[in-house]
A and B are shown apart, each in its own frame.
Chain A
Amino acid sequence: MFCCGVYGFITRRNMIAILISLELMLNSVDINFVVFNRFLFPGEMEGMFFSLFAIGLAAAETALAIAIIINVFRVSENIDVRDVTKMKF
């Protein structure tokens, strides 16, 4: 699942798709946290809390990214990353 996310992040040109790939990577990491916590330290809860924390941050980050993408779309009518070069020096 993490490798799918990496592949998507590098190859896709659509910003939404890149965002989705990012989410994939995040979620895979969350699952890893939960699973390793369950198997390695059965009595502890840190891994669980950490993934909850990461989910909360991911939600905020997604909202931010979507807002940026919408603004980019308003300016350039396009959400292809190769074409967003307006601020390039």
Chain B
Amino acid sequence: MQPVIPIIILALPLAMFLVLGLFGNKMSHRLAGVLGTAGMGVTMVLAYITAFTYFFSGSGEFYDAETHTRLQSVIFNHDWLAFTDNLVIRLGFLLDPISALMLVVITTISFMVHLYSNGYMRDHHGVWEKGFQRFYAFLSLFSFSMLGLVVATNIFQMYMFWELVGASSYLLIGFYYTKPSAVSASKKAFIVTRFADLGFLLGILVLSFYTGTFNFTDLTSTEVADGVYRISEGTAEGIKNIFATSAAPVFMGGSVLTWALVLIFMGGMGKSAMMPLHIWLPDAMEGPTPVSALIHAATMVVAGVYLVARLFPLYLMETAAMDIIVVVGALTALYAAMVACTQIDIKRVLAFSTISQIAFMMVSLGVARPEFHHGLGYMAGMFHLFTHAMFKALLFLCAGALIHAIGSNDYTAMHGLRKHMPVTHITFLIGCLAIAGIIPFAGFFSKDEILTATLGHSTLWYVWMSAVAGLTAFYMFRLYYLIFWWKEHKVPQGHHAPHDQPWTMTLPLVILAVVSCFAGFVPMGNLVTWNGHEMFDNVSFFTNLGALDWSVASISLLVAIAAIALATVMYKKENPLPSKMKNALPNLWRWCHHRFYWDELYMFITHKIIFGCISKPIAWFDRHIVDGTMDAFATMTQKASYAIRSLQSGNIQMYVWFYLIGALLLGAITAICLM
């Protein structure tokens, strides 16, 4: 494949960022919005062309027709910084199943959000939001960074773009920079993810120090031909040998490879908001809602999942690291689902739901083993990433439409909106059905694959994750009923009677809703697998339906329907049942409502322990010992000057007198010495 289209895919959003960032204030709001949206639209089309070429070109550089295997292909790989022969940092474009999939996901959601923001970033009178052009510039910067991240050919390029998405996330969370809560939320997000990235960087250094390479193709595949690579089972035995022969250093009971992979996963935990580094994501909802849809639901937060998937053959060699991923993911999934049941702010419910769903993907990757259905978990994780991006972006954009109409994030201000906002109502319902896992919506298929993969690994985690899936259905329908049913406000809340939004906002909702209905039928098993082997021989529209393991699927369907029924009973009509339940389990409710006091724990650790016990003594030392020494020097000089300053009287005759006596004395001394 010629590198022209891939280069444009990366260059166009960057160019849009520069144009809108530098000249945005000189152009009208409408032009800036149209320009940003059009740029993203072109990028989306080009990304589709690239992905379709990759998946459907038949035999060639992307596909080995004899073994039905998709290959990794380096489109271009430019030496960017060459420090030494080994230490070369490259910028390139790697096309393989997951990067092609991510190209489609990112550009689709990004385009929808660009389009949607044209309507969202104006108030009811059509007055543009302050900083509208800046908003579009940052959106373009984010799209560029995220695209650069997923097509990275080496782990260092990935790290650079990883930081860039972190920076653009920071800028967009703090978009309303006059609001103190938004400012502190952006700082929190940046600091927490930076802290996690410290682990990522250490992992990169350890890994590249022992292997001598940054390249993903060297780390995870056996070379096939010039620029084309294949991932095979027992992959990278060479890497393992490197680790084995480099004196097999063992640190605190883990091999170097285990430590490198766990540290790299720590970076993924920060970005993907896994417990205990999840605290930034709920606060990140202070940003504009389209940003939450794009960055904090669909694309950036799944970067951690993508990272694990990218290094999957390495993780396969260290099952200890995989087990850590499963445990972290499972705990996070349950935690986030429980918290989501008690939140009042609709965006926070969706944020915790996002955390929970990403944890599903993590668990899915963690339980994937080649022995079981050719690594079903890997495929399921990426499939869920794809479907989740679609329906979660849909849910967030619906939430944005609601917030825009009502002027509050609080569901108590909404209640009974189904007649006022029919389009939003239907699309939100589709999103809820998709995330709850009701056949035939998107989430059903991907979640079912995850549960099947988990069952193949261990029954405990299967039961656990099924329970979380039930909770998911429950809290989503609780949210749905509380927004659109419950009771109707006599006096409409908000500026005026709520109604559906302009077409720029409803069109993305409808498109994403349609995608959420049908995304489940994409034969992902043939497109994205860990080693590129196709799972099915013949593909049709009903491939996924035919491949279902009905013993698992029927149970998950039953759980979801039961949970929805419970939510219907509790929340459809105004009734005292929810408060009764809350009073029956007051402690559990309080802990869930306060997110299990994680934020307070962090506050305690940072303020009381780090600031109080470490920073304060150091500050005292600085102020009194270091500064004190300097002050003493100054004071001594000053005192001495005061003492001798009367000598400088300005009286020249006095000076001459001193001079004369001095000269005579010197003469006398010289004379004595010479004698």
Give residues in A with beta carbon < 8 Å to B.
6, 9-11, 18, 81-82, 85, 88
Among A10, A11, A18, A88, residue most surrounded by chain B Cβ atoms (within 10 Å): A10
CA distance A63 to B24 in the complex (A): 72
Q: Does B651 contact A (CB under 8 A)?
A: yes
Q: Does B657 contact A (CB under 8 A)?
A: yes
Q: Does B7 contact A (CB under 8 A)?
A: no
B650 touches A10 (CB 8 A): no
The answer, among A9, A85, A88, for a CB contact under 8 Å with B653, is A9
Q: Does B224 contact A (CB under 8 A)?
A: no
**Residues on A with beta carbons closer than 8 Å to the beta carbon of B653:** 9-11, 18, 81
CA distance A81 to B650 in the complex (A): 10
Q: Does B660 contact A (CB under 8 A)?
A: yes
B660 touches A6 (CB 8 A): yes
Give residues in B with beta carbon < 8 Å to A.
650-653, 656-657, 660
Q: Closest residue of chain B to A84, judged by CB?
A: B650
Distance between B151 CB and nearest chain A CB, rounded to angstroms: 72
Distance between B645 CB and nearest chain A CB, rounded to angstroms: 10
B650 touches A88 (CB 8 A): yes
Q: What total count of A-B pairs have CB within 8 Å?
A: 16
CA distance A10 to B409 in the complex (A): 91
Q: Closest residue of chain A to B652, judged by CB?
A: A81
Tell me whether chain A's interface is mostly helix, strand or loop, or mixed: helix
CA distance A11 to B660 in the complex (A): 13
Distance between B238 CB and nearest chain A CB, rounded to angstroms: 81
Distance between A6 CB and nearest chain B CB, rounded to angstroms: 6
Distance between B65 CB and nearest chain A CB, rounded to angstroms: 97
Distance between A11 CB and nearest chain B CB, rounded to angstroms: 8
**Residues on A with beta carbons closer than 8 Å to the beta carbon of B650:** 85, 88
A9-B653, A11-B653, A82-B651 given; 13 more Cβ-contact pairs under 8 Å = A6-B656, A6-B660, A9-B656, A10-B653, A10-B656, A10-B657, A10-B660, A18-B653, A81-B651, A81-B652, A81-B653, A85-B650, A88-B650
CA distance A6 to B658 in the complex (A): 12
Distance between B551 CB and nearest chain A CB, rounded to angstroms: 100
CA distance A10 to B661 in the complex (A): 12
16 interchain pairs, CB-CB under 8 A: A6-B656, A6-B660, A9-B653, A9-B656, A10-B653, A10-B656, A10-B657, A10-B660, A11-B653, A18-B653, A81-B651, A81-B652, A81-B653, A82-B651, A85-B650, A88-B650
**Residues on A with beta carbons closer than 8 Å to the beta carbon of B660:** 6, 10
**Residues on A with beta carbons closer than 8 Å to the beta carbon of B656:** 6, 9-10
CA distance A50 to B653 in the complex (A): 27
CA distance A82 to B660 in the complex (A): 20
CA distance A77 to B534 in the complex (A): 113
Q: Closest residue of chain B to A13, judged by CB?
A: B653
CA distance A37 to B657 in the complex (A): 30
CA distance A85 to B656 in the complex (A): 18
**Residues on A with beta carbons closer than 8 Å to the beta carbon of B651:** 81-82
Distance between A56 CB and nearest chain B CB, rounded to angstroms: 24
CA distance A9 to B653 in the complex (A): 7
Among B651, B652, B653, B656, residue most surrounded by chain A Cβ atoms (within 10 Å): B653
**Residues on A with beta carbons closer than 8 Å to the beta carbon of B657:** 10
Q: Closest residue of chain A to B653, judged by CB?
A: A10
CA distance A11 to B657 in the complex (A): 9
CA distance A10 to B659 in the complex (A): 11
Q: Closest residue of chain A to B650, judged by CB?
A: A88
Q: Which 5 A-B pairs have the closest CB atoms?
A: A10-B657, A10-B653, A10-B656, A88-B650, A9-B656
**Residues on B with beta carbons closer than 8 Å to the beta carbon of A85:** 650
